[in-house]
């Protein structure tokens, strides 16, 4: 996940660099006389410097130190925040996986399917719910077979096979593949509720408003705790993504401020014409409203 996030950031950053290269190639120079010493300012140079390291362009422009430090601080803070939240997400992910390994079992899932509990909740019993009456549903888990079972049925059959072959559990030649889909499915879909260790005694159902309809969700206290742990991990991942977004915008804003300041100083000292800018919307038919982003063009 970390590699995916970083790849997205660097791809976006490289596209920005490619987009500004034509502008840099058209740079002009302006002479600024300060204390009888002539200094040459290249508008594209502070832009490129800040895109690489926020605050570098401000330092080149001799802007107030607080402005330079602000961009650099945001850069350092964003990087630190990303690694903090990403590490937190990884820790919470390890925790909820260990929790699931301890509290969800394939044997319990199959047993409860063929030996439903008599425990009822709010006038409904286990067999009132189709999701609990069959191992086959909208999703499935992946099994790992060895020995004679693997020779006959293949090494990686679907968990749907257990509906007709529950005896596989007695063979000692069956495991379950605990991949990303496993940890998502056992918490998300009712058909896997029977695998939780408290399913026989503490299961319950509740109504969930999904906007245009009401759905019935079947839970147990352990399953609910598991879902809370997964949600916490996902929140940390979201915060890590926000940190990368802040990092990206810090580069862009620092670059734009650097070129604007250099042109402002040059214009004040040498009557250079104002910077021509154009701000427009980018059309995207997939997004609601057709807005896919903003396009900013700077001519200098």
Q: How far apart are CA 143 and CA 113, in angstroms?
A: 17
Residue 142 is classified by DSSP as B
The contacts found for 175-178 with CB under 8 angstroms, 24 or more apart, are: 175/143, 175/144, 175/146, 176/106, 176/141, 176/142, 176/143, 176/144, 177/141, 177/142, 177/143, 177/144, 178/97, 178/101
What pLDDT score was predicted for residue 31? 34
What pLDDT score was predicted for residue 268? 73
Low-confidence ranges of the chain (pLDDT < 50): 7, 10-40, 271
Q: Does the reported pTM lie above 0.75? A: no
35-88, pLDDT tens digit by residue?
433 444 556 788 888 889 999 989 988 899 999 999 999 999 999 999 999 999
What pLDDT score was predicted for residue 214? 85
Radius of gyration over alpha carbons of the chain, in Å?
30
What pLDDT score was predicted for residue 11? 43
What pLDDT score was predicted for residue 28? 35
- 3-state secondary structure labels for all residues of 197-258: CCHHHHCEEEEEECCCCEEEEEECHHHHHHHHHHHHHHHHHHHHHHHHHHHHHHHHHHHHHH
What pLDDT score was predicted for residue 231? 97
Domain boundaries, the chain: 2-98+233-274, 105-195
């Amino acid at each position: 996940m970390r590699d995916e996030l970083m790849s997205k950031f660097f791809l976006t950053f490289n596209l920005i660099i490619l987009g500004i290269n034509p502008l840099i190639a058209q740079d002009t120079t302006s002479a600024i006389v300060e204390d009888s010493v002539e200094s040459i300012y290249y508008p594209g140079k502070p832009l490129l410097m800040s895109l690489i390291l926020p605050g570098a362009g401000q330092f080149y422009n001799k802007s107030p130190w607080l402005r330079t430090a602000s961009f650099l601080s945001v850069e350092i803070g964003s990087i630190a925040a990303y690694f903090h939240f990403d590490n937190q997400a990884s820790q919470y992910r390890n925790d909820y996986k260990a929790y699931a390994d301890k509290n969800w079992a394939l044997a319990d899932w199959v047993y409860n399917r063929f030996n439903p509990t008599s425990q009822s909740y709010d006038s409904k019993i286990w067999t009132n719910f189709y999701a609990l009456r069959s191992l086959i549903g909208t999703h499935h888990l992946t099994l790992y077979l060895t020995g004679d079972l693997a020779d006959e049925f293949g090494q990686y059959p679907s968990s749907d096979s257990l509906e007709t072959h529950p005896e596989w559990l007695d063979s000692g030649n069956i495991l379950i593949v605990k991949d990303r889909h496993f940890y998502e499915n056992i918490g998300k879909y009712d058909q896997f509720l029977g695998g939780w260790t408290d399913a026989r005694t503490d299961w319950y159902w509740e109504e969930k408003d999904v906007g245009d309809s009401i759905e019935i969700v079947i839970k147990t206290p352990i399953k609910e705790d598991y879902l809370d742990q997964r949600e916490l991990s996902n929140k940390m991942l979201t915060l890590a993504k926000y940190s990368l977004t802040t990092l990206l915008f810090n580069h862009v804003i620092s670059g734009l401020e650097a070129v604007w300041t250099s042109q402002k100083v040059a214009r004040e000292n040498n009557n250079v014409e104002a910077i021509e800018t154009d701000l427009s919307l980018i059309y995207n038919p997939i997004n609601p409203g057709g807005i896919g982003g903003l396009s900013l063009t700077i001519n200098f």
